[in-house]
Amino acid sequence: MLERAFKVLGAFAHAGESLPLKTLASRAGLPKSTTSRIAAQLVAVGALERLENGEFVVGLHMLEIATLAPRGHGLRAAALPFMEDLHRVTRQHILLAVRDSHEAVLVERLSAHEAVTVKYRVGGRLPLDTTGIGIALLAYATDQVREDVLAKAASPARVRQLIAMTRSEGVCAAAVPNPVDDGPATMSTVAAPILGRGGAALGAISLVAPDEAGTQAASRIALRTASLAISRALETTAACGTRRAVRQVPAGA
């Protein structure tokens, strides 16, 4: 039951999208009667909302729950000040993501009105092999995940080269395919992993721009500096939390 409920919720592909029951069932790969029953239960608990025209939208209760996710919320809080600085200077897209198995999940995106349209939305999933932020995460994934992704990559040699750049320089820069049809064929991206004290990637940050300006030395330095600053901010937050926890332990416990 739970798996089918998530199939129904996963049928929504765009922010603000409303779906009739027939489309909801088709995307979820479930019979219409089953989808109707599950959708009614999801409406009852606030995970979906039903509009006056009978179509369904994602409910606000899902947003309430999603904001509690520790891997996204804590990272976002630490990263936002540095993302805002980059956004003010570049007037382009600044992305923040975490890895979930063989994909990246976008945690935050800051975009200027004049920036070229990009496909990925907050909460959406990105490939690890064809996006700068994905490669920054892939560089610090497990060996098994890297080999799985490389086995399916269209250009594994190029992905390996970008992984090596990320690990040696702390940042990768590349031209990547633009998934939006009405924009330029390629976009430039600079991305840097956000590493924890043990060397694991807690997330990654990237700049996406419509031309090669995004991959210049100044952009690489800015992204690398921001990623290091976010790492330090996360360490400070964790240390403060540990000190508070120690102080709250009763004497003699």
142 and 155 co-located in one domain: yes
142 and 225 co-located in one domain: yes
54 and 144 co-located in one domain: no
The reply to whether 251 falls in a domain is no
98 and 161 co-located in one domain: yes
Write the pLDDT tens digit of every residue in 116-155.
Answer: 777 778 888 899 999 999 999 999 999 999 999 999 999 9
Q: What is the mean pLDDT of the chain?
A: 86
42 and 140 co-located in one domain: no
- Which CATH number is 18's domain given? 1.10.10.10
Quote the number of domains for the chain. Answer: 2
Q: What are residue 96's phi and psi, to 5 degrees? A: -135, 130
**Residue 42 structural domain:** 2-65
Give the CA angle between residues 163, 167, 168 to the nearest 5°: 115
50 and 92 co-located in one domain: no
7 and 91 co-located in one domain: no
- Determine what percent of the chain is predicted with pLDDT higher than 90: 55
Using H for helix, E for strand and C for coil, what is the string for 178-239? CCCCCCCCEEEEEEEEEECCCCCEEEEEEEEECCHHHHCHHHHHHHHHHHHHHHHHHHHHHH
36 and 120 co-located in one domain: no
The reply to whether 195 falls in a domain is yes
Tell me: pLDDT of 247 over 60: no
227 and 194 co-located in one domain: yes
Which residues have a Cβ under 8 Å from the Cβ of 241 and sit 6 or more positions away?
none
Write the pLDDT tens digit of every residue in 79-123.
Answer: 999 999 999 988 889 999 999 999 999 999 998 777 777 777 888
Which pTM was predicted? Answer: 0.73
125 or 180, which is more confident: 125
90 and 205 co-located in one domain: yes
